[in-house]
Amino acid sequence: MVTRPNESVSEDFNPWTHVSSLIERAGHLLQLDEGMIKRIITPERILEVAVPVRMDSGNVEMFTGWRIQHDTSRGPGKGGIRFHQSVNVDEIAALSADMSIKCAVVNIPYGGAKGGVRVDPTTLSPAELERLTRRYAFSIAPVIGPETDIPAPDVNTDPQVMSWIMDTITMLRGYSAPGVVTGKPLAIGGTLGHAGATSLGVTICTLALLKNLARSPENERVIVQGYGKVGSPLVKLLSERGMKVVAVADVKGAIHVPEGIDPDALARHYGEAGTVVGLPGSDTVDPDQFWSVPSDIAIPAALGGVITEKVAETITASVVVEAANGPTTGEGAAVLHERGVPVVPDVLANAGGVVASYFEWAQDLQGYMWEKELFHQRLEKTMHEAFDAIWIRHGELGVNLRETALAVGVERIAEATRLRGLFP
């Protein structure tokens, strides 16, 4: 049976139900009519595809993939593609809605989209991964393109995967199409500065929040869950700005260094061991106790739904900055709000990545690469303006930062929807 958004795949946390309820609440806060709220909640297009792949053994295995375009009232769909064994339609729908809000929050001319294939990529050979990527790209080709929907890397996908997608679409269309994806290598239309852009955005938001709370970044103790594409550069960026990263977790475990982790030493150790666990001079932490490590700032930078009600009750940090997508459940968010813990939500905090993708797309369309300094200057300006707008609106609406960001995003989508009208 094909599962659609609004149909729970289990009794556990359902990301689609969670996101749609947040949008509905924001719509009511803004006093939008029910018709407008329903239009904003409902995905415009849900594409489910079968992805047959010939394995190295000669056998054919079947996988399932999705591309969901949630809202394109403000521009082409934008959102990553993830390869993970837990991927399902509810998750992809929720992430596509997150992208709609996120792009509106940072005020770039994109709508929201997301894609994924239910597969454990670690079980595939490089050749199998390429065949899976190209078949998936072929299947979603009718709905993606520089003017319609622009994919990017996400969980377990990278510049190489984007290169295969770009090449597949180029072969299908008979002309070079660098603008069909972002997050590409420099050699085929990527951009200087894209690597680490999400981490830089998280850092900017962290510093901006501390400034507005009249707190200095020096010696603020930070814990970071996740040491991948976002968490790894984030540890270094935060340390360079005077903060002490005292604990880091990855899929294999967690470590604690009360006096602060040396980011370069951690990077070297991770490169050799493939995990943060075992860093010389560190103490091993039970992953279940990670969030209770004494800290001032907690940054989830892994998968969604990790800050549950139970975690929110035990977390020691006085500030949370969401580097991951949807890391806090509704119950967890309620507990943090009750405890007076400010949370910079994912739709603002980790938007540096989509801003960088916007810059790459613009450069591809222009056929002109910006200097790295210009890239970073524009990224910082965009993120600062977005944070300041949310902070000001936060004071006007009298609700927490998460509800404020959602309200700003929904408000901008509603404005575009009204202006465009309803066809026919």
Return the active site residues: 114
Distances in Å between the Cα of 295 and the Cα atoms of 23, 148, 310, 317 are 31, 43, 17, 5
Query: Dihedral, CA atoms, 207, 213, 218, 224, nearest 10 degrees?
Result: -60
C-beta separation of 136 from 167 below 8 A: no
Closest CA to 114 of 135, 138, 93: 93
Q: How far apart are CA 184 and CA 161, in angstroms?
A: 9
Rounded to 5 degrees, what are φ and ψ at 83?
-115, 110
Full DSSP string of 34-65: HHHHHHHHS-SEEEEEEEEEE-TTS-EEEEEE
Q: How far apart are CA 223 and CA 297, in angstroms?
A: 6
Q: What six digits make up the tokens of 393?
A: 């609106």
Distances in Å between the Cα of 206 and the Cα atoms of 212, 266, 394 are 10, 22, 16
Q: How far apart are CA 322 and CA 329, in angstroms?
A: 12
User: Residues for the chain: how many in total?
Assistant: 424
